[in-house]
Amino acid sequence: MKESLLDIICCPLDKHDLELSVDEREDDEEIVSGTLTCTDCGEAYPIEDGIPNLLPPDMREA
Taking 70 as the threshold, does the pLDDT of residue 62 lie above it? no
Q: What are the b/e assignments for 33-43, b being 16+ CB within 10 Å?
A: bbebbbeeeeb
Q: Quote the pLDDT of residue 29.
A: 85
Residue range 1-54, pLDDT digits in tens: 999 999 999 999 999 999 999 999 998 889 999 999 999 999 999 999 999 999
Q: Domain of 22?
A: 3-59
Number of domains forming the structure of the chain: 1
- Residue 7's Cα: distance from chain center in Å? 12
